[in-house]
A and B are shown apart, each in its own frame.
Chain A
């Protein structure tokens, strides 16, 4: 299945392990990735709030690029998903906004007519690829691992633009996937909460406490690791975890996996291939539970 692949800035920046593992799992999932190399950053909501026309034009351009490819646009980042979904929702619905965005990008040879579908890899697993295909690709069940899902805000809220009204089951995909891969999903309140990343540069200690509290809650419920479909959550939960531990004056030490890394493990790839040895919080303990080493 051909998809217009939008990797997002972070997977090409501070989370290279996400980009690598996403590309790796594409083949067993039957995904043919056509990367939108010249698509700009979504603005992560920061640009939308200061200048809607600008964000409409930038995201309209990306949506037009996918439209020209005649494929669904696939994200691997909840934040990209949220922002693209939001602009797509409005550009589809609101002709005035769409015309305005098109007027800005027209002389570059682009026009968005409003037909692109934006889907995170997580949604594609259930809605396009199908769980039978995912099941067939499993070579190594993750039995024995207790995994806490961490959805991140922008893949869940606001629910209207994300199509959760029509498809409420999207709220449960991560839990279902964990079970499908043979592991046990951990139920905890923080699963659908904010990791704190958007506040990291404004109010550092509070942002760290926010993320840290969620990891501690999951740990309390017995989680061996957290899995997230959002690299920004990963930056806060993994990258800043030692600092969060310091702020909260508690031991944390819970590894955070990207969604494609977890898939990759179940599909039989080795931890090093998935760059699980390039995390701030060591993944060793969790991997040993499924008899793997890094």
Chain B
């Protein structure tokens, strides 16, 4: 079968692309990704071929100058994540046939990452974030002697299988919306790994970890868009792990942050009226005594009021709101 591949080429002539500068203004430096030149190749491959087969065929038989990073060809090593038709995927796991759109497949280095050459991006931001969550166990005492195993209940480890499945391919980070505007965000992979250690009964630093993760750049900087769940080739579902961390952090008492205030204000409004009170949600989430924060939202509030888009000043409850209050009393937990 004949396939047409459009490859994003980039050759900086020996110069490495700029790497991330944490705290810099957005868009993130690598968002101003250098322009690629798109080069079209035609390859003859069997119907079941994957994108990586095509790239290897191009490199081996047509154009040895093409740079592509790959190793295992079996979705285990995590080397070949790249953009295929505008989304991060493993080239070795993506069937050419199903990725052919309008007669061709476009592959390129993800613009959210610094680029080195052609399809090879710089993984530095990824590894920096990964290491920032201290992805190792800090043993809880008593540690068994070296010749013995550290035994934990089976069920506790089953709970972590999803996170352990991560192959560090960075597909989730490549398509992360928050990361695209916020280089400081730890990102889905690192946070899913953080949960892997927070959730491990052998780890002694649960509380410290949750405290760190509740700071800026951590769990509350995720925009909840599900891209990482969609793109992960191993079913790690990073967002789900981030949401677990949020709950654990709040339960552990790390509540002085906009995320917790938002959840509390939200719950309060639904409990008392059955629906959302947008008028009080924003100020309460920002923090009623956070004057600078409040002032920042003021121009938008004025714009909306002018357009006649302010929620009704008197917030009405839904009929039968008593029912909702009862539900909160029963299963509301800390929202009771």
State the A residues within 8 Å of B (CB): 9-10, 12-17, 37-41, 43-51, 53-54, 57-58, 61, 104-105, 108, 153-154, 156-159, 189, 193-194, 196, 198-207, 209-210, 213, 239-240, 242-243, 275, 278-280
Contacts and interface: CB of A to CB of B under 8 A. Distances in A.
Given A14-B278, A47-B263, A47-B270, A202 B258 contact: yes
B243 A54 contact: no
Contacts of A54: 327-328, 331-333, 335
B303 A207 contact: no
A150 to B, nearest CB: 13
A104 B229 contact: no
A204 B306 CA distance: 21
Given A40-B318, A51-B333, A189-B86, A153 B224 contact: yes
Given A51-B335, A54-B333, A105-B327, A210 B276 contact: no
B285 interface: yes
A61 B327 contact: yes
Contacts of B297: 204
B45 to A, nearest CB: 24
Which 9 A-B residue pairs are closest in the complex by CB-CB distance? A157-B226, A194-B225, A201-B285, A9-B276, A13-B311, A38-B320, A49-B243, A194-B177, A153-B225
B286 A201 contact: yes
B223 A46 contact: no
B275 A61 contact: no
Interface of B: 26-27, 86, 177-178, 180-182, 216, 220-227, 229-230, 243, 246-247, 250, 257-259, 261-263, 266-267, 269-270, 274-279, 281-282, 285-286, 293, 296-297, 299-300, 303-304, 306-312, 318-320, 323-324, 326-328, 330-335
B181 A50 contact: no
Contact of B266 (A14, A46, A159, A202): A46
B229 A239 contact: no
B309 A280 contact: yes
A213 B181 CA distance: 9
A171 to B, nearest CB: 11
A208 to B, nearest CB: 9
Contact of A199 (B178, B257, B277, B319): B178
A43 B323 contact: no
Given A41-B274, A153-B225, A203-B221, A108 B230 contact: no
Contacts of A239: 300, 303-304, 309
Contacts of A61: 323, 327
Contacts of A53: 331, 333
Contacts of B263: 46-47, 49-50
A58 B27 CA distance: 39
Q: Which of A44, A46, A158 has the most CB of B within 10 A?
A: A46
B215 to A, nearest CB: 12
Given A58-B270, A104-B327, A202-B258, A193 B177 contact: yes
Contacts of A278: 307-309
Contact of A104 (B227, B299, B330): B330
A108 B323 contact: yes
Given A104-B327, A210-B180, A14 B304 contact: yes
Contacts of B279: 13
Given A49-B263, A213-B27, 11 more contacts: A13-B279, A17-B309, A44-B276, A47-B270, A50-B247, A58-B270, A189-B86, A194-B224, A201-B261, A213-B181, A239-B300
Given A49-B243, A153-B225, A243 B327 contact: no
B221 A50 contact: no
Contacts of A15: 309
Contacts of B222: 199
Nearest to B309: A14
Contacts of B180: 210, 213
Nearest to B322: A108
Contacts of A240: 300
Nearest to B285: A201
B262 A51 contact: no
A255 to B, nearest CB: 12
A46 B221 CA distance: 14
A235 B66 CA distance: 45
A13 B276 contact: yes
B331 A202 contact: no
Contacts of B286: 201
Contacts of A104: 327, 330-331
Given A202-B262, A213-B27, A41 B270 contact: yes
Contacts of B324: 40, 58
